[in-house]
Amino acid sequence: MTSLSIDALKTLAENPQTPSLSIYLPTKKAGAEIRQNPIRFKNLIKEAQENLEAMGLRHTEAINFLQPAMELAQDDFWEHQDQGLVIFISPNLFRYYCLPTEFPELVVVSEQFHLKPLLHFINNEGKFFVLALSQKDVKFFVGTAHNLNEIEVENMPHSLQETILEDEFQNGVQHRVGTVRGRRTAAEHPGSFHGQGSPDREKHEADISNFFRIINTELIKKISTEKAPLVLAGVEYLLPIYQDANTYPYLFTESITGNPEVMTCEQLHHQAWQIVAPLFEQDKKFAMERYQQLAGEGIEKAVSDIKTIVPAAYYQRIDSLFVAVDQQQWGKFDLDNTTLDLHKEPEPDDKDMLDFAAIHTLLNGGRVYTLTSEEMPNGTNVAAILRY
């Protein structure tokens, strides 16, 4: 199983092959209902086989095509699930994802993978970073709405002691290796160094400042191309020192206060998500308000006709797309005549035109906002802001 990211979705979208099979299955993580996982999976595999044969594959060809998926359902596979299982199979590709979100059961056989539900997952998970600051144990995490995982940063020091000893070694003070300048007992802290302005206090704060500058330097090497928000976690007096050393432009002003050494990963994740979640909701809200304003003014850049939107997505004309994640609109798009033929029920070689519009908008550099039917403007299943 590989990790899911927007780049992984682009890889799936940019390599269409016939047939391309997409299977979405809600799964149970524990309890008696876990026994339903393989039963539902078997039913979806049977449906996929029937769809493949309807597309023209012989019975044995369909069975062989599905073999990688069927091999998953062995040993203890069903004991290591999350809330949703997604499987993609094409002649030269097989991938599956166990994800912390539930999907409706769905089987799609087409010329390309059905990815719209995953766009909803990625759009609403919100990537962010957490830097847990401590003089003894610095950690760096990447998170989403669903989880928080520690990641290594090459050459980043993890403790103040490590930095001071390295500094002393570099300056030739090798006889003091094993001891730390300014080391205090466990009962002391930087605020108790002989009163404000004392040499010991100033020296210790200078050491911390240098420590944080080194951390920032190494961190920037890893995330310099990112735009995800960074949240600090640490005791209150450390936070402004790091903020002075920071050069990452997306550092949040609001932080998690407290000693991260005694916080669980779940506690850090919960508090960090509470801080960053409004940012991700705000982006979608602003885009929707812009669409409503343009539509209200009768400006032609705001459209909700799928027969206009599908060719516009293909020909790179869409700036922002709003699409209902819980609906499908089956049909065929004729590239030569730029015409769209829609059907109430899927016919052979049909695609979900909502998925088609979402994927091509994404590939062409537009923004895609996946919403529920209730959230969509004016009861439509698709709407867009055009570039021109």
141 lies in the same domain as 201: yes
In a domain, 285, yes or no: no
In a domain, 289, yes or no: no
CATH number assigned to the domain comprising residue 239: 3.30.420
334 lies in the same domain as 366: yes
Whether pLDDT at 244 is above 90: yes
In a domain, 71, yes or no: yes
156 lies in the same domain as 237: yes
Give residue 59's domain range. Answer: 6-114
Whether pLDDT at 13 is above 90: no
pLDDT (mean) for 222-247: 94
Among residues of the chain, what percentage have pLDDT more than 70? 88
pLDDT the model gives residue 178:
41
Last-in-domain residue among 63, 85, 114: 114
In a domain, 158, yes or no: yes
Whether pLDDT at 226 is above 50: yes
pLDDT (mean) for 117-144: 86
**Cα distance between residue 273 and residue 268, in whole Å:** 8
CA dist 363 to 13, 114, 117, 256, 313, Å?
8, 14, 16, 36, 9
Residue 186 binned pLDDT confidence (cut-offs 50, 70, 90): very low
Model pTM? 0.62
146 lies in the same domain as 94: no
In a domain, 171, yes or no: yes
| Ranges 59-68, 214-223, 370-379: which has the least confidence | 370-379
CATH number assigned to the domain comprising residue 332: 3.30.1330.30
276 lies in the same domain as 328: no
In a domain, 295, yes or no: no
Query: Are 81 and 36 within 8 A, CB to CB?
Result: no
Tally of structural domains, the chain: 3
105 lies in the same domain as 153: no
173 lies in the same domain as 38: no
Tokens of 377: 């403007």
* Mean pLDDT rounded to a whole number for the chain: 85
In a domain, 160, yes or no: yes
Whether pLDDT at 130 is above 60: yes
106 lies in the same domain as 33: yes
Whether pLDDT at 192 is above 60: no
In a domain, 52, yes or no: yes
268 lies in the same domain as 135: yes
pLDDT digits (tens, 9 = 90+) for 336-363: 888 899 998 888 778 899 999 998 998 8
57 lies in the same domain as 159: no
Whether pLDDT at 179 is above 70: no
Last-in-domain residue among 58, 85, 114: 114
Whether pLDDT at 177 is above 60: no
268 lies in the same domain as 151: yes
259 lies in the same domain as 135: yes
pLDDT (mean) for 233-240: 95
CATH number assigned to the domain comprising residue 24: 3.30.960
